[in-house]
Structure 1
Amino acid sequence: MIKLVCIAIVAGLVFDLVEPMEKNQMNSLSARFSKRPPRPGHIQREPELEVYSSVPIQCWTEWFNSDNPSRGGDQETLSKLRRQYPEEICLNPAGIEATTLSGTPADKTEDKIFKSDTTTGFICRNRDQKHGKCNDYRVRFSCPPPYCSKKVCWTDWFDRDNPSGTGDWETLSSLRNENRGKICESPWFIEAVTKDSPYTPAIQTGENFYMFSPTQGFVCRQRDQSSKTCLDYKVRFGCPCTE
């Protein structure tokens, strides 16, 4: 049996499933995004369906630089950054990246890095360096879409098929044929939820998926399920926002 496939491509990178965000932080983000006025020509998100916790993708936040190495070293810790940049960093980052202010990756410098992880953040101590001082660093974190520097605009929800035959086939090619001009050329993300309320993210249903890709679409095949029956799903795609 073909096991669960959840693939999302973001600028050529493939990421693992992200951890769900806490409910209060999700609500805060929802409120913040819902206050933004709609812009002409932009695809609007459906406010009653906040299912980012089901999206098997991540992207990068903006760069943060809260410290310099003038006193003891450069400490870009998560606790400090969250105080200085509230709601700008997710609760459970999947990755961290650190570079000098000029863009050189931390591991390509001669500095000895004391900490660089998604629990503490980044710390370079002057006392650990041969020349007595660290470079000045900036950091960013891998998080779900609402936190990322790339702005995502979501399409409408699409439901072209039902699981009465071999399964539920919501392929990108078929959806494009039936919805001309409504899906961008190269979607970054895909979301799939059950068709009927209460909406359940596909990856929380326990079903096995033959296809789950922003560049191909979504397919649930009856034969891959222990019950031999798929639920009925609808999908939408995350696209680059057009200015």
Structure 2
Amino acid sequence: MKLHNLLTSTCLAAVLAVAPSCKKKEDKAPQPTPTATTNGSNAEGSATAPGSAAGSAVAPTPVPDESADHITVLARHKNPKPNDPIRLNFEKFKVVKADFDPKKIEGGTASIEIDLSSFHTDSDKRDEHVKSASYLDVSKLATATVTIDNVKQKAGSSYTADATVAAHGTTKKYPVTFDVLETKDDSIKIKGEHTFPRMDFAIGTDPAQNADESVAPEVTIEMVLTLAKT
């Protein structure tokens, strides 16, 4: 299922050479500066690091492989910055239940769990701040659950559903849409995104009431998931 409208306000925001050697009568070609390769499911720390040269620009948060299963939250600053949006790439999530007919998914249900402590951006300092009690408070509220039901075909491979999100001590229900990318005998692959107010789940503070709040009030969740019948 591709969730065009979804998810849990759960979560939020986030960012972040060798010189040639010489020998007598022998020159060695300079070696290229090492770079890190990333994909949608990188291990922690695989994001490209900012350059070491003075004045080098901060590297953007790596973008996951759009065809691979992933859950990413996009957050922006209240006062836009060049590196917006900040991408929170969640490494740990699972489909705990899926009950549907892949050939006719109307009426199907699914439940997804997300480990809110498992995200990373390109900044360890930012990650720790977002995980703190000021935002996600993952030491106490580390899991978000999304339950999908009331699935109805909208047109072609596009469907509507209800998504009940339990996160950060709050439960909300959203009308959502998703697209089916792939259908197999016992599974489907879906894709979707949804923008929601983070204050639905009391994450951070409201910029309208707190001038020091730097995170924009709305965040967007993107996901691609393979749902296998359980």
- Higher relative contact order, chain-length normalized (CA < 8 Å, sep 6+): 2
Does the pair score TM above 0.5? no
TM-score (norm 2): 0.27
Higher strand share: 2
